[in-house]
């Protein structure tokens, strides 16, 4: 065996949905060596096979779902896979990840990745089991939400073996621009409308039966120890509170730090946060564990509401992003309603971040009389009206009535409405959506969201401090110098993780993460090597984006997104005077032209990407 | 002597006395003219546990991994280093963290 393929199954599954042909092709060892897996594989195939002029809904667009060297091993969180495609929110590339089991099962089924191309003449789903794959009729699955879809596929396949199913709900079928790919009961590939791309291909789902093929590992004993150390470190991180409360445990932290998004950024004050956070819902509502592959962190749960008007509602416990969207962004203070809306969003197959921003924008416009009941199909969208929000989500997912406009996302919808309404949306000018924080208090993430090549956070999630990379800490989170430099200097690490791919909540320690990678592959990666791989992928995706029309002037916040908070802990802090300078400084430190943001030839050469230089100059 | 209220979340250190950032917190009498940094440095020197996790001995500053909210506003770098505390001040220590 080529030792460069330790950690890999050595095969890619190709699916041409137009012809129905399904075939294997080998994974080139140099591809594994150079790009590692996950997002790396996805970006390389996307770059090579989707030329300029191919739009997101063109049959020639690709969806690459990729595992990596960690998939199927005892490393916690290595059921995570990366989905790479060209997405409709920005009409640029996107890399988005979902946890669960898919990446482990696809490896055990004999494959490192699946590449989907073409457009099926009828609705289908793909089933993969132990080296074999078939397209099956999905007519009966049409209209089903993402949880119903999974259950129906399990029932149809009738297997007692474990199954991982990821697919689309009504939102993807109707190509809502911010449709998601969801599976394993609540895990989400959320960004840049990847679900709409799947819907454009008339592909309802990809189901993988857990296979029997072992993943080749260089040193099993070393891996066992490294995986154990990684998990123990993750459990102790942040005072053990992530382990105890999940991401929702940070809800009150954000409220007190000024980074909770409230009522579409119209205020920064949310005194009800202690009734909406994870400590409240876990001590008042019923819940049970919902672990991912090999993961002892178990920060995700099933949940049942036990108080208030939504008593009895069951679904996945909302993570922080869902809490932010369906609590403070829309002015809702009922935790049970928050759980309900999070569940509805996932089932319909909509990105909770964009959905929250859309409805928050609608509610603000309604409060100001810029949108009326007449405009909203008779719905009363006053702040906190959760039933109206739910009705609107249903309309968006099916592009019915006003839902057809709102399914375009807050940028396009607000531009179409025009007037003052066009100034109120929270978005990046190129169309991407920020996550569920008030980034006016989190400048690293605002800059990152605007310039990211992946369509979501790329460098700045502040889970891993620059000090882990031997760099000094960022001491002033509102310093234009420190923020831009801090982002640039750690850029590459998170994309490296997405090349493994693996859950970011487990991989808090870079050195322990790399121990696991080396134990599997037999390579002796260093943190520096990891950053190089991450930057290689970032740069290749950025060149792809330029070839597909990226305008760096649009890598900036909308007026509302970049505004200064009017109250709260970050009152008056305005990034606006500094943003363009910060962007140029970040570009410079990344080895890109400070004005155009284009990767410079020497940067591409240093990353082994000299082959891309003519493409960028063309 | 002036009295200040200190609140620390368990996300910074699991063994804090306060139950949550919004709990009553720890009320402490401090010497006249003590700075915020001086207070945390003194507590780190005198006591075990949470205060040692908040203070960076090498930098001789409140740790960069800590957000400080002083009387409801994010403390500037100058305030973190040099703000003189007065009677009734409330200081909250939070982690730098993003949800997901």
| CATH at B75 | 3.10.20.30
Distance from the Cα of residue B4 to its chain's centroid: 10
For residues A145 and A172, the answer to whether their CB atoms sit within 8 Å is no
Domain that residue B12 falls in:
3-95
Q: Give the number of other CB atoms < 10 A from CB of residue A306.
A: 15
The residues near B48 (Cβ < 8 Å, ≥ 6 apart) are: none
Residue A328: list chain B partners with CB under 8 A. Answer: none
Task: Give me the percent of chain A exceeding a pLDDT of 90.
Answer: 88
Query: Are the beta carbons of A256 and B11 separated by less than 8 Å?
Result: no
Q: Has residue B17 been placed in a domain?
A: yes
Q: Does the pLDDT of residue A3 top 90, yes or no?
A: no
Residue B22: list chain A partners with CB under 8 A. Answer: 252, 256, 274
Strand order of the β-sheet with A63-66 is A21-26, A11-16, A113-117, A63-66, A81-87, A92-98
For residues A372 and A390, the answer to whether their CB atoms sit within 8 Å is no
A308-328 in b/e form (b: 16+ CB < 10 A) is: eebeebebbbbbbbbbbbbbb
Spatial CA neighbour of A490 closest among A589, A597, A595: A589
Residue A252 exposure: Cα atoms within 13 Å on the Cβ side = 27
Residue B100: list chain A partners with CB under 8 A. Answer: 247, 319-321, 435, 461, 504-505
Q: Does the pLDDT of residue A237 top 90, yes or no?
A: no
Query: Are the beta carbons of A274 and B22 separated by less than 8 Å?
Result: yes
Q: Determine contact: B94 vs chain A, CB below 8 A.
A: yes
For residues A78 and A294, the answer to whether their CB atoms sit within 8 Å is yes
Selected for mutation to probe chain A from B9, B90, B99 (highest A CB count within 10 Å) is B99
Selected for mutation to probe chain B from A189, A190, A239, A250 (highest B CB count within 10 Å) is A239
Residue B64: list chain A partners with CB under 8 A. Answer: 465, 467, 473-475
What is the per-residue pLDDT for A133? 98
Query: Are the beta carbons of A475 and B12 separated by less than 8 Å?
Result: no
How does pLDDT run across A439-464, given as a tens digit for each residue? 999 999 999 999 998 877 788 656 66
Residue A81 exposure: Cα atoms within 13 Å on the Cβ side = 33
Query: Are the beta carbons of A252 and B97 separated by less than 8 Å?
Result: no
What is the per-residue pLDDT for B18? 47
Distance from CA of B96 to the nearest CA of A (A): 7
Query: Are the beta carbons of A250 and B22 separated by less than 8 Å?
Result: no
Residue B11: list chain A partners with CB under 8 A. Answer: 238-239, 241, 249-250, 253
The residues near A289 (Cβ < 8 Å, ≥ 6 apart) are: A298, A300, A301, A302
Q: How many domains does chain B have?
A: 1
- Rounded to whole angstroms, how far apart are CA atoms A344 and A352? 10
**Tokens 């940028």 sit on residue:** A411
What is the per-residue pLDDT for B82? 93
Query: Are the beta carbons of B100 and A504 separated by less than 8 Å?
Result: yes
Q: Determine contact: B49 vs chain A, CB below 8 A.
A: no
Residue B94: list chain A partners with CB under 8 A. Answer: 253, 256-257
For residues A303 and A314, the answer to whether their CB atoms sit within 8 Å is yes
How does pLDDT run across A50-97, given as a tens digit for each residue? 999 999 999 999 999 999 999 999 999 999 999 999 999 999 999 999
- Rounded to whole angstroms, how far apart are CA atoms A32 and A27? 7
Q: How confident is the model at residue A436 (pLDDT cuts 50, 70, 90)?
A: very high
Q: Has residue B80 been placed in a domain?
A: yes
Reduced DSSP (H G I as helix, E B as strand, rest coil) percent helix, strand, coil of chain A, to 5: 45, 15, 40
Query: Are the beta carbons of A239 and B13 separated by less than 8 Å?
Result: yes
The residues near A274 (Cβ < 8 Å, ≥ 6 apart) are: A252, A280, B20, B22
pLDDT (average), residues A525-543? 96
Q: Does the pLDDT of residue A404 top 80, yes or no?
A: yes
In whole angstroms, how far apart are CA A113 and each of A25, A104, A347, A516? 10, 11, 25, 21
Q: Has residue B21 been placed in a domain?
A: yes
Q: Among A212-216, A507-511, B7-11, B51-55, which stretch is predicted with the lowest mean pLDDT?
A: B7-11
Distance from CA of A246 to the nearest CA of B (A): 9
Rounded to two decimals, the ipTM of the complex is 0.91
Q: Which residue in chain A has the smallest CA separation from B75?
A: A569
Distance from CA of B97 to the nearest CA of A (A): 6
Q: Determine contact: B92 vs chain A, CB below 8 A.
A: yes
In whole angstroms, how far apart are CA B80 and each of A101, A241, A502, A561, B33? 45, 25, 36, 27, 15
Backbone angles phi, psi at A586, to 5 degrees: -60, -45
The residues near A307 (Cβ < 8 Å, ≥ 6 apart) are: A284, A285, A336
How does pLDDT run across A239-297, given as a tens digit for each residue? 788 888 888 988 999 999 999 999 999 999 999 999 999 999 999 999 999 889 998 88
In whole angstroms, how far apart are CA A595 and each of A552, A563, A610? 9, 23, 21
- Rounded to whole angstroms, how far apart are CA atoms A564 and A180? 31
Residue A321: list chain B partners with CB under 8 A. Answer: 99-100
What is the per-residue pLDDT for A357? 98
Report the run of H or E that residue B28 belongs to, with start and end.
strand B26-29
What is the per-residue pLDDT for A475? 86
For residues A239 and B10, the answer to whether their CB atoms sit within 8 Å is yes
Residue A404 exposure: Cα atoms within 13 Å on the Cβ side = 4
What is the per-residue pLDDT for A461? 56
How does pLDDT run across B9-36, given as a tens digit for each residue? 877 776 665 445 445 678 899 999 999 9
Query: Are the beta carbons of B98 and A253 separated by less than 8 Å?
Result: no
- Closest in A274, A437, A476 to B99, CB measured: A437
Spatial CA neighbour of A590 closest among A488, A495, A493: A488
Selected for mutation to probe chain B from A191, A243, A249, A250 (highest B CB count within 10 Å) is A250
Q: Which residue in chain B has the smallest CA separation from A464?
A: B97
What is the per-residue pLDDT for A299? 81
- Rounded to whole angstroms, how far apart are CA atoms B42 and A285? 42
What is the per-residue pLDDT for A455? 76
Q: Degrees (nearest 5) of the Cα angle A359, A56, A403?
A: 25
**Mean model confidence pLDDT for chain A:** 95
Q: What's the 3-state SS for A188-244?
A: EECHHHHHHHHHHCCEEEEEEECCCCCCCCCCHHHHHHHHHHHHHHHHHHHHHHHHH
In whole angstroms, how far apart are CA A499 and each of A234, A262, A303? 20, 34, 31
Tell me the pTM. Answer: 0.96
Q: Has residue B22 been placed in a domain?
A: yes
Q: Determine contact: B9 vs chain A, CB below 8 A.
A: yes
How does pLDDT run across A476-519, given as a tens digit for each residue? 989 999 999 999 999 999 999 999 999 988 998 899 999 999 99
In whole angstroms, how far apart are CA A251 and each of A241, A258, A275? 12, 11, 10
**Mean model confidence pLDDT for chain B:** 85
Q: Has residue B100 been placed in a domain?
A: no
- Closest in B21, B64, B69 to A473, CB measured: B64
Q: Which two tokens stand for residue A328?
A: 């403070």
What is the per-residue pLDDT for B99? 63
Query: Are the beta carbons of A253 and B94 separated by less than 8 Å?
Result: yes
Q: Which residue in chain B has the smallest CA separation from A324?
A: B99
The residues near A417 (Cβ < 8 Å, ≥ 6 apart) are: A365, A370, A371, A405
pLDDT (average), residues B43-61? 87
- Closest in A239, A441, A504 to B11, CB measured: A239
For chain B, helix (H) and strand (E) counts, in that order, are 3, 7
Q: Among A116-125, A194-203, B50-59, which stretch is predicted with the lowest mean pLDDT?
A: B50-59
Query: Are the beta carbons of A475 and B96 separated by less than 8 Å?
Result: no
The residues near A132 (Cβ < 8 Å, ≥ 6 apart) are: none
Where do the domains of chain A lie, and which CATH numbers do they carry?
Answer: 3-209 (3.60.9.10), 224-423 (1.10.569.10), 442-617 (1.10.599.10)
């Amino acid at each position: 065996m080529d030792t460069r393929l330790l950690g890999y199954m050595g095969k890619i599954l190709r699916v041409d949905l137009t012809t129905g042909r399904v075939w294997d092709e080998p994974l080139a060892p140099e591809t594994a060596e150079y790009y590692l897996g996950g997002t790396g594989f996805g970006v390389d195939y996307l770059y090579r096979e989707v030329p300029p002029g191919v739009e997101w809904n063109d049959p020639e667009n690709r969806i690459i779902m990729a595992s990596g060297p960690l998939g199927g091993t005892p490393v916690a969180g290595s059921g995570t896979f990366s989905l790479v495609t060209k997405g409709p929110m920005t009409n640029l590339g996107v890399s988005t990840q979902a946890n669960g089991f898919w990446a482990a099962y696809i490896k055990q089924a004999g494959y490192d990745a699946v590449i989907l191309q073409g457009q099926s003449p009828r609705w289908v789903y793909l089933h993969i089991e132990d080296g074999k794959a078939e397209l099956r009729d999905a007519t009966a699955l049409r209209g089903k939400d993402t949880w119903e879809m999974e259950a129906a596929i399990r029932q149809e396949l009738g297997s007692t073996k474990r199954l991982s199913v990821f697919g689309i709900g009504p939102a993807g079928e109707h190509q809502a621009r911010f449709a998601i790919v969801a599976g394993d009961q609540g895990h989400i590939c959320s960004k840049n409308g990847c679900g709409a791309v799947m819907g454009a291909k008339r592909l309802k789902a990809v189901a993988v039966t857990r296979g029997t093929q072992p993943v080749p590992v260089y040193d099993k004993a070393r891996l066992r120890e490294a995986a154990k150390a990684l998990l123990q470190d993750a459990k102790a991180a942040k005072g053990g509170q992530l382990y105890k409360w999940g991401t929702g445990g940070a809800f009150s932290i954000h409220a007190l730090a000024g980074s909770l998004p409230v009522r579409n950024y119209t205020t920064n004050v949310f005194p009800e946060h202690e009734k909406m956070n994870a400590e409240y819902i876990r001590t008042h509502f019923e819940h049970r564990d919902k672990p991912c592959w090999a993961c002892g962190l178990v920060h995700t749960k099933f949940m049942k509401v036990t108080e208030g008007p939504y008593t009895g509602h069951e679904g996945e416990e909302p993570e922080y992003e869902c809490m932010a969207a369906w609590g403070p962004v829309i002015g809702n203070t009922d935790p049970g309603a928050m759980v309900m809306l999070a569940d509805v969003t996932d089932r319909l197959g909509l990105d909770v971040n964009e959905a929250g921003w859309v409805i928050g924008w609608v509610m603000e416009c309604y409060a100001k009389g810029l949108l009326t009941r007449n405009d909203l199909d008779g719905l009363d969208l006053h702040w906190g009206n959760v039933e109206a929000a739910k009705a609107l989500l249903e309309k968006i997912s099916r592009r019915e009535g006003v839902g057809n406009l709102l399914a375009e996302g807050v940028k396009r919808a607000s531009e179409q409405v025009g007037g003052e309404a066009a100034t109120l949306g929270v978005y990046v000018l190129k169309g991407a959506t920020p996550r569920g924080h008030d980034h006016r208090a989190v400048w690293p993430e605002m800059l990152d969201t605007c310039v990211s090549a992946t369509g979501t956070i790329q460098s700045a999630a502040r889970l891993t401090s620059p000090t882990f990379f031997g760099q000094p800490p960022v001491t002033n989170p509102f310093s234009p110098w420190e923020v831009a430099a801090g982002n640039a200097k750690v850029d590459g690490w998170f994309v490296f993780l997405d090349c493994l791919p693996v859950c970011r909540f487990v991989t808090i320690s870079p050195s322990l993460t790399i121990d696991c990678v080396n134990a599997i592959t037999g390579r002796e990666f260093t943190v520096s090597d990891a950053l190089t791989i991450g930057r290689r992928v970032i740069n290749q995706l950025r060149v792809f984006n330029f070839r597909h029309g990226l305008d760096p002037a649009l890598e900036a916040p909308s007026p509302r997104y970049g505004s200064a908070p009017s109250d709260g802990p970050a009152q008056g802090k305005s990034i606006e005077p500094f943003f363009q300078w910060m962007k140029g400084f970040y570009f410079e430190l990344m080895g890109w032209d400070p004005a155009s943001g284009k990767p410079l030839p020497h940067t591409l050469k240093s990353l082994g990407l000299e082959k891309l230089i003519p493409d960028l100059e063309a | 002597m002036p009295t200040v209220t200190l609140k620390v979340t368990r996300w910074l250190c699991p063994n804090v006395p306060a139950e949550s950032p919004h709990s009553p917190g720890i009320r402490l009498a401090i010497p006249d003219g003590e700075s915020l940094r001086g207070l945390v440095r003194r507590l780190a020197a005198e006591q075990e546990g949470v205060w040692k996790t908040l203070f960076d001995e090498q930098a001789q500053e409140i740790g960069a991994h800590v957000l400080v909210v002083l009387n409801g506003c994010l403390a500037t770098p100058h305030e973190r280093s040099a703000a003189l505390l007065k009677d009734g001040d409330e200081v909250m220590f939070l982690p730098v963290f993003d949800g997901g």
